[in-house]
Amino acid sequence: MSKPVLAIAGGIGGAKLVLGLSRVLEQGDLVVVGNTGDDFNHLGFAISPDLDTLLYTLSGLADPVRGWGRRRETWKFMAALEALGGPTWFRLGDADLAMHAERTRRLAAGESLSAVTEALRQKLGVATRLLPMSDDPVRTRLRTSTEWLDFQDYFVRLRCEPEVREIAYAGAGAARAMPQVLDLLRGDELRAVVICPSNPFLSIEPILAIPEMRAAIAACRAPVVAVSPIIAGQAVKGPTAKMMRELGVEASAAAVARRYADLLDAFVVDEADAGAILPEGVARIIGRTLMLTLGDRKRLARIVLAAADSCSAGARAAERKP
Amino acid sequence: MSKPVLAIAGGIGGAKLVLGLSRVLEQGDLVVVGNTGDDFNHLGFAISPDLDTLLYTLSGLADPVRGWGRRRETWKFMAALEALGGPTWFRLGDADLAMHAERTRRLAAGESLSAVTEALRQKLGVATRLLPMSDDPVRTRLRTSTEWLDFQDYFVRLRCEPEVREIAYAGAGAARAMPQVLDLLRGDELRAVVICPSNPFLSIEPILAIPEMRAAIAACRAPVVAVSPIIAGQAVKGPTAKMMRELGVEASAAAVARRYADLLDAFVVDEADAGAILPEGVARIIGRTLMLTLGDRKRLARIVLAAADSCSAGARAAERKP
């Protein structure tokens, strides 16, 4: 095993780059910290959408068209639930349900979310280590002009339609980061920290809202490289650009870089944003960031790793100076 | 609507006669009290196997071959759960899961089991009224030579293999019967109480273990007719005969009649048991009790109702005497 890479990721967009990284790194060299701010309880199930998307993507079970859930899924449970008048706004496939049932069962038996995630990872044959951002609950909530909404109410039930005025990560201030992740960040072995092209507000910042996480990333010796989720002012998928505008932030790659400025050594922008003006001290890396194919994912992973390695080389050169 | 009939039933055997009764009575004239001693919590679901078997049977959703669960069921959830290392000893079909999820959701929202059952009945278009024996939890437990077992552990996980020494109905002593059922039993409108050919220990006696239920049945003016679940010393299905032998009770129709003797006006035995000696005061009705077809179910229902009506006529004749 060579030096590990730590990836910070949300769901769909993040999972694409995570898959690319897992394919270009040696097996076991990738450690992923997944967002749990979207987690919620529904029909008695403990549901962790981003962890599941990462596990499904890495195990090859993900549905490539829908973008979430499992391929070759069936919907018999959902149809029967609808016939009984049950809530159907959150779609649960028959096989996907097993993940939630097994997670719920293990949590009820006293296992931590990280232990459950580790067990599911092994059962699905995923070599990449995956850790929740915390074993403590953190819940992303959004304030509209009229009310505070739970994340899934906003994201799924209301299809991101309400205008967002404010975002909170309930519980983040008191949540502890995972010790294994802090050890990696504080040690000398880490090759890079990669902040994946996930929604900053909904996927990355819930993780960074855990004080230990942000502080450890800011202090770590390994280079920190982020990939822009915005291409030419647009989000590849989801409400990122819409939310940025609603929150009074310019919908641009540069604006995303500014949110992470204190953490970053390098920022990868799309060729369409080659002229982006980044914060001082953040190297601008230009590449194709749209990931349509597995080849795209691997190529972007190599760009990110090369950026990190050149930061390291630069830092080592700087250290050699008197 | 004519005079109502109250049926006391467990799962599969009871549901057969209940279906027959529902087909020969006018719509809405049948009220069923279902056993909830088998209820349990599994994977976070509140599961009521006998109520579901009754609802599936009455709605035409029941699987006619397996005897439990839904017809045209699929097992994708179960296969995925097995792949994750989850518990698979209790088989949950994809559509069946929706019943448990919706029941669990409604109970968690504060509804009573009877209110949930009523909602599910209406959604499934079942005209027969169905009530749990109580809104309070009662749990059937079985003592073997070495330990006390929860019902489903004994019945499903261990396939009724352990020898049973003792049976308890935890919570029954403090459980309240349903007021609607007590009103029926105490009123003048009831045409008959029918104790279905279910397992006495596992399906009928948990219901009778609720003090208000047994007292109200014993005191009711309507005739009480039971149907033997034993034919020529054998149970049609399930462990009834085995359990009777283990508990030191003769495995016979007459022995079942003796268990209900204080309640009964008439007892229906199979033609194979035409010579059964019943307790004094219990009329012996001989008929074909094996229910293989819908025709069998309806014919047995008519035999039971005729027996009840002749008891009533006899009672009225006796009342006319000075």
Query: What's the pLDDT at B320?
Result: 54
Asked if residue B156 has pLDDT above 90, the reply is no
Per the CB < 8 A criterion, the answer to whether B104 and B46 are in contact is yes
Per the CB < 8 A criterion, the answer to whether A130 and A8 are in contact is no
Q: How many whole angstroms separate alpha carbon B233 and alpha carbon B279?
A: 18
The angle that helices B294-320 and B12-24 make with each other, rounded to 10 degrees, is 70
Section A164-182 average pLDDT: 96
Asked if residue B72 has pLDDT above 60, the reply is yes
Lowest pLDDT segment from A8-17, A22-31, A291-300, A309-318 = A309-318
Chain B contact set for A40 (CB, 8 A): none
Residue type at position B176 = R
Lowest pLDDT segment from A150-154, A298-302, A312-316 = A312-316
Residue of B45, B76, B81 to mutate for A, most A C-beta atoms under 10 A: B76
Chain B contact set for A44 (CB, 8 A): 44-45, 101, 104-105, 108
Contact call for A101 and B95, based on CB within 8 A: no
If pLDDT is split at 50, 70 and 90, which confidence band does B84 have? very high
* A102/B contact by beta carbon, under 8 A: yes
Residue of B97, B106, B111, B118 to mutate for A, most A C-beta atoms under 10 A: B97
Asked if residue B257 has pLDDT above 80, the reply is yes
The minimum CA-CA distance between B108 and chain A, rounded to whole Å, is 8
Contact call for A94 and B77, based on CB within 8 A: yes
Section A108-112 average pLDDT: 97
Asked if residue B2 has pLDDT above 90, the reply is no
Residue type at position B1 = M
N-to-C CA span, chain A: 33
Of the candidates B81, B105, B123, the beta carbon closest to that of A44 is on B105
If pLDDT is split at 50, 70 and 90, which confidence band does B314 have? confident
| Neighbouring C-beta atoms of residue A293, cutoff 10 Å | 9
The minimum CA-CA distance between B211 and chain A, rounded to whole Å, is 33
Query: What's the pLDDT at A155?
Result: 86
Contact call for B98 and A83, based on CB within 8 A: yes
Give the residue carrying structure tokens 């006998």.
B50
If pLDDT is split at 50, 70 and 90, which confidence band does B236 have? confident
List all residues 6 or more positions away from A210 whose beta carbon is below 8 Å from its beta carbon. Answer: A133, A134, A138, A172, A175, A176, A177
Contact call for A101 and B86, based on CB within 8 A: yes
Q: How many whole angstroms separate alpha carbon B218 and alpha carbon B174?
A: 19
Asked if residue A88 has pLDDT above 90, the reply is yes
Asked if residue A316 has pLDDT above 90, the reply is no
* A124/B contact by beta carbon, under 8 A: yes
Section B197-212 average pLDDT: 96
Contact call for B123 and A83, based on CB within 8 A: yes
Lowest pLDDT segment from A151-160, A262-271, A299-308, B288-297 = A151-160
Query: What's the pLDDT at B316?
Result: 61
The minimum CA-CA distance between A175 and chain B, rounded to whole Å, is 26
More confident residue, A275 or B235: A275
Section B182-194 average pLDDT: 96
Q: Considering only residues 176 to 205 of chain B, which have any Cβ-Cβ distance to chain A shorter than 8 Å?
A: none
Asked if residue B322 has pLDDT above 60, the reply is no
Q: How many whole angstroms separate alpha carbon B94 and alpha carbon A80?
A: 8
ipTM: 0.89
Contact call for B80 and A74, based on CB within 8 A: no
Contact call for B77 and A80, based on CB within 8 A: no
Query: What's the pLDDT at B237?
Result: 80
Asked if residue A264 has pLDDT above 60, the reply is yes
Pure H helices in chain A: 12-24, 49-59, 76-83, 94-108, 113-123, 151-152, 179-186, 205-208, 211-219, 240-246, 253-259, 294-320
Asked if residue B230 has pLDDT above 90, the reply is yes
Of the candidates B79, B84, B108, the beta carbon closest to that of A44 is on B108
Query: What's the pLDDT at B155?
Result: 86
Q: How many whole angstroms separate alpha carbon B93 and alpha carbon B77?
A: 7
Burial of A38 (0-12, 13-18, 19+ CB in 10 A): buried
Asked if residue A234 has pLDDT above 70, the reply is yes
List the one residue out of B211, B206, B26, B187 whose CA is nearest residue B132. Answer: B206
What is the largest distance, in Å, between two alpha-carbon atoms of chain B?
Answer: 75
Query: What's the pLDDT at B318?
Result: 62
Section A203-229 average pLDDT: 97
* Domain segments of chain B as ranges: 5-320
Asked if residue A1 has pLDDT above 60, the reply is no
Contact call for B98 and A85, based on CB within 8 A: no
N-to-C CA span, chain B: 33
The strand pairing partners of A192, in sequence order, are: A5
Chain A residue with the nearest C-alpha to that of B121: A84
List the one residue out of A131, A148, A170 whose CA is nearest residue A50. Answer: A131
Instruction: Output the average pLDDT for chain A.
Output: 93
Contact call for B97 and A83, based on CB within 8 A: no
Query: What's the pLDDT at A290?
Result: 93
Query: What's the pLDDT at B317?
Result: 63
The minimum CA-CA distance between A72 and chain B, rounded to whole Å, is 10
Asked if residue A268 has pLDDT above 60, the reply is yes
Q: How many whole angstroms separate alpha carbon B140 and alpha carbon B131?
A: 18
Contact call for A98 and B120, based on CB within 8 A: no
Instruction: Output the average pLDDT for chain B.
Output: 93
Q: How many whole angstroms separate alpha carbon A223 and alpha carbon A315?
A: 9
More confident residue, A317 or A197: A197
Section A2-17 average pLDDT: 93
Section B193-220 average pLDDT: 96
Section B203-210 average pLDDT: 97
Asked if residue B321 has pLDDT above 60, the reply is no
Tens digits of per-residue pLDDT, A73-83?
Answer: 999 999 999 99
Contact call for A105 and B43, based on CB within 8 A: yes
Asked if residue B129 has pLDDT above 90, the reply is yes
Contact call for B99 and A83, based on CB within 8 A: no
Predicted TM-score (pTM) above 0.80: yes
Asked if residue B239 has pLDDT above 90, the reply is no
> For A5-320, which CATH class?
alpha beta
Section B243-266 average pLDDT: 93
